[in-house]
């Protein structure tokens, strides 16, 4: 392609960061030095460069984590290297919240102000930061000032960081040759200031919220906090890779039969039967097939996949290998959200170790089966957890959901049949191999088989990830977590995340099964159980839910793009007590907006953007006291 690039080159630092990711350029045609004898008369490299479009996001990440922002020069060089039109690459770069396209200091503290953190002390942290360092503004240093000093720092508010059990939380990013990325919980104003002012880089340790640690009967959590997550030997000594061996004995069709028999349902939120997905992909004559482990866990209140990846990364790798074997995939991707640095590190380490020891690569365990996994890092976009948005994000396009049909099992990543499963769904697979599908199906209830991870947070005594066999009620689970914080009473409980809904504290007998939740007109969603006590300002919480969807909407379709704005505006007017007409008028308007978003949006984001608000209004009656006025 004959690209028209802006006339700016990369700095040495930027060039090095990009070349470290992409390798050195082959010629003057793809950004290298022009050698007249070689490059003057023949154009080459176009197709080869364009075939690497999927490395656009990793290349942008490389500059971001090295320099702290992506300058025009760096941007031009990436476009030249990958033969991507700059306008398209601009569309991609500006899609992600963690990528900066205006000058930004190397040290940035992203402070969570999402629903859980804001009711657990984030406000005080944000106020302290604002007092000392001024209001958060991503462009504060962009106005004409291109030379940043090393002393510059910046803080930004962030959507949920998946640390709700230790709320409030923050993500520290320090760009450089050895970039630092730390997810920190239990944040205080002093700690936040110290981290921002470079007195404290925070340790790179996993603080896994596991009140059930080491309890007998745990399945998905049995190794977490007990077995060294960085050691393949330790993993193997605790039944690791037994599932894969069993899978090879069963054969490809046998594996799928067991998974079908197990009645395993997807744990990402949609509860689709995993076996049917696998079966459909395995039957597709079109090759190659791809496998994606969806680890873009960004649903506010959800942190179970982070715990699985940080605490038992080899299980994720093994489960993916089994899935790939059954469905005929040779290449898999783990798409992990960019806010999870330790999960990325652990999973990458597990992949490297597995590859070094023959558990990935050619002839795995001596079988005529080849499979490898690549980690792809998200860059701050909730929508990229939508299954078709993941495809676009990996391919190097904007993470906009695609139209369905065609479904991923027919036309997925790179247009090929693709299996995409959530981390927790996959983590069940080794158990199905070892126990057999029918035995797995006997655990739990008739329709919800196996066990499920729940993320308890908010006003509970022992927040954290809990594993329960399907069939327990919400009351049982809350009791396990020690109940509501002493001295407080529950006001309402968010089930299933921002895309889920609020229920009343008198509804604790809802069974935590897919069918039980459905019967109670609720949803398990991604397994969030967030308790709000009487001190929580629910009007403010709802406003944040609405702001979250407005921020995270990809902007493709009108109902979601504008509907999320109009929803937030109405909730804002209610919160500041300036309704247009009466409160009842505003609630009726919200209902109309919500119905259109649910009915006419392209993907699940828009379709569920009203559900939490609707339930808070209709089920919990949070505006009931004001409705009459």
Partner 1 sequence: MTHLVEIARPKRTVELTIDGQTVRVPEGTTILDACKTLGTNIPTLCYLETLHPVNVCRVCVVEVQNARVLVPACSRTVEPDMVVSTDSERVRHSRKMVLEFLASSVDLSTTPDVDGWLASYDCKPERYGPPAPDEAAGERDALPTGHHAPPNAEYAATVGQPVKVDNDLYVRDYGKCILCYKCVEGCGTDYQNTFAIAVAGRGFDARISTEFAVELPKSACVYCGNCIAVCPTGALMFKSEFDRREAGTWDESKQTQVSTICPYCGVGCTLELHVQDNEIVRVTSPLDHDITRGNLCIKGRFGWRFVQNRGPRPMGGGNGQAGGSAPRGGEAGGAGGNGAGDGHG
Contacts to partner 1 by CB under 8 A: 1, 3-4, 6, 72, 75, 85-91, 94-97, 99, 101-102, 113, 136, 138-139, 142, 156-159, 380-381, 398, 403, 547, 550-559, 561-566, 568-569, 572-573, 576, 578, 580, 589, 592-593, 595-596, 598-602, 607
- Closer of 88 and 476 to partner 1 (Cβ): 88
Sign of CA dihedral 122, 123, 126, 128: negative
360-363-369-375 Cα dihedral, nearest 10 degrees: 20
**Residue 367 near residue 407 (C-beta atoms within 8 A):** no
CB of 386 to partner 1, least distance (A): 13
CB of 94 to partner 1, least distance (A): 4
CB of 290 to partner 1, least distance (A): 22
CB of 540 to partner 1, least distance (A): 11
- Closer of 139 and 629 to partner 1 (Cβ): 139
Q: How far apart are CA 458 and CA 349, in angstroms?
A: 32
Give the count of beta carbons closer than 10 Å to the beta carbon of residue 249.
Answer: 10
Q: Which residues, at least 6 apart from 79, have a Cβ–Cβ distance to it below 8 Å? A: 3, 5, 85, 86, 89
Q: 215: left (phi > 0), else alpha (psi -120 to 50), else beta?
A: beta
Q: Look up residue 206 and give its DSSP letter.
A: -
Structure tokens at 14: 């930027």
CB of 579 to partner 1, least distance (A): 9
Residue with tokens 């944000």: 126
- Closer of 356 and 588 to partner 1 (Cβ): 588
In degrees and rounded to multiples of 5, residue 245 shows phi and psi of -60, -45
CB of 388 to partner 1, least distance (A): 13
Q: How far apart are CA 322 and CA 389, in angstroms?
A: 24
Interior angle at CA 497, CA 494 and CA 503, nearest 5: 20
Q: How far apart are CA 598 and CA 610, in angstroms?
A: 7
- Closer of 1 and 479 to partner 1 (Cβ): 1
- Closer of 511 and 563 to partner 1 (Cβ): 563
Give the count of beta carbons closer than 10 Å to the beta carbon of residue 451.
Answer: 23
Per residue, the 3-state secondary structure of 373-424, as one string, reads: EEEEECCCCHHHHCHHHHHHHHHCCCCCCCCCCCCCCCCCHHHCCEEEEEHH
CB of 581 to partner 1, least distance (A): 9
- Closer of 93 and 232 to partner 1 (Cβ): 93
- Closer of 95 and 369 to partner 1 (Cβ): 95
- Closer of 198 and 558 to partner 1 (Cβ): 558
Q: Look up residue 297 and give its DSSP letter.
A: -
CB of 401 to partner 1, least distance (A): 11
CB of 210 to partner 1, least distance (A): 31
- Closer of 114 and 507 to partner 1 (Cβ): 114
Q: Which residues pair with 371 in a beta bridge?
A: 361
In degrees and rounded to multiples of 5, residue 107 shows phi and psi of -100, 115
- Closer of 437 and 594 to partner 1 (Cβ): 594
Structure tokens at 327: 């469905």
Residue with tokens 């069993």: 246
Q: 328: left (phi > 0), else alpha (psi -120 to 50), else beta?
A: left
CB of 452 to partner 1, least distance (A): 23
Q: Which residues pair with 172 in a beta bridge?
A: 109, 182
- Closer of 27 and 102 to partner 1 (Cβ): 102
CB of 496 to partner 1, least distance (A): 17
Q: How far apart are CA 104 and CA 577, in angstroms?
A: 37
């Amino acid at each position: 392609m004959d690209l028209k690039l802006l006339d700016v080159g990369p700095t040495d630092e930027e060039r090095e960061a990009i070349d470290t990711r992409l390798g050195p350029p082959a010629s003057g045609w793809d950004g290298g030095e022009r050698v007249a004898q070689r490059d003057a008369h023949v154009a080459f490299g176009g197709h080869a460069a364009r075939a690497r479009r999927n490395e656009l996001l990793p290349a942008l990440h490389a500059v971001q984590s090295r320099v702290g922002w992506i300058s025009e020069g760096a941007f031009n060089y990436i476009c030249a290297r990958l033969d991507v039109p700059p306008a398209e690459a601009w569309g991609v770069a500006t899609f992600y919240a963690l990528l900066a396209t205006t000058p930004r200091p190397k040290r940035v503290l992203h402070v969570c102000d999402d629903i859980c953190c804001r009711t657990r002390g984030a406000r005080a942290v944000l106020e302290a930061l604002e007092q000392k360092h001024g209001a958060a503004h991503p462009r504060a240093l962009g106005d004409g000032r291109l030379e940043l000093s090393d002393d510059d720092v910046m803080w930004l508010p962030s959507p949920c960081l998946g640390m709700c059990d230790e709320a409030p939380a923050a993500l520290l990013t320090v760009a450089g040759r050895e970039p630092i990325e730390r997810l920190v919980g239990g944040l205080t104003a002093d700690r936040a200031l110290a981290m921002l002012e470079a007195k404290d880089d925070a340790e790179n340790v996993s603080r896994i919220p596991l009140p059930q640690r080491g309890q007998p009967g745990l399945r998905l959590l049995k190794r977490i906090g007990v077995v060294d997550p960085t050691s393949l030997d330790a993993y193997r000594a605790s039944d690791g890779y037994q599932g894969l061996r069993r899978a090879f004995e069963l054969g490809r069709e046998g594996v799928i039969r067991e998974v079908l028999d197990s009645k395993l349902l997807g744990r990402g939120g949609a509860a689709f039967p995993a076996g049917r997905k696998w079966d459909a992909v395995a039957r597709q004559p079109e090759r190659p097939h791809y496998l994606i482990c969806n680890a873009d866990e960004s649903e506010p209140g959800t942190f179970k996949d982070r715990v699985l990846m940080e605490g038992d990364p080899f299980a994720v790798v093994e489960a993916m290998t089994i899935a790939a074997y059954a469905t005929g995939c040779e290449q898999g991707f783990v798409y992990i959200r960019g806010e999870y640095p330790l999960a990325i590190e652990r999973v990458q380490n597990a992949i490297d170790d597995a590859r070094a020891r023959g558990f990935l690569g050619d002839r795995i365990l001596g079988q005529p089966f080849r499979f490898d996994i690549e980690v792809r890092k998200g860059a701050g976009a909730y929508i990229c957890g939508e299954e078709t948005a993941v495809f676009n994000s990996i391919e190097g396009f904007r993470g906009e959901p695609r139209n369905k049909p065609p479904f991923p099992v027919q036309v997925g990543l790179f247009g090929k049949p693709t299996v995409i499963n959530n981390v927790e769904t996959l983590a069940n697979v080794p158990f199905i191999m070892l126990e057999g599908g029918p035995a797995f199906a006997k655990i739990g209830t008739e329709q919800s088989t196996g066990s499920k991870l729940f993320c308890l947070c908010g006003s509970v005594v022992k927040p954290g990830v809990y594993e329960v066999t399907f069939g327990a009620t919400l009351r049982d689970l809350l009791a396990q977590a020690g109940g509501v914080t002493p001295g407080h009473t529950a006001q309402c409980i968010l089930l299933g995340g921002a895309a889920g809904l609020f229920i009343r504290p008198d509804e604790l007998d809802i069974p935590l099964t897919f069918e039980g939740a459905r019967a109670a007109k609720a949803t398990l969603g991604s397994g969030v159980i967030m308790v709000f006590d009487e001190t929580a300002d629910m009007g403010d919480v709802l406003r944040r839910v609405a702001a979250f969807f407005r921020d995270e909407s990809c902007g493709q379709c009108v109902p979601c793009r504008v509907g999320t704005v109009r929803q937030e505006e109405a909730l804002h007017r209610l919160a500041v007590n300036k309704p247009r007409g009466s409160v009842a008028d505003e609630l009726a308007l919200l209902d109309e907006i919500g119905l259109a978003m649910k009915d006419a949006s392209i993907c699940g984001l828009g379709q569920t953007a009203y559900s939490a608000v609707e339930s808070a209004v209709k089920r919990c009656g949070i505006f009931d006291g004001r409705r009459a006025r």
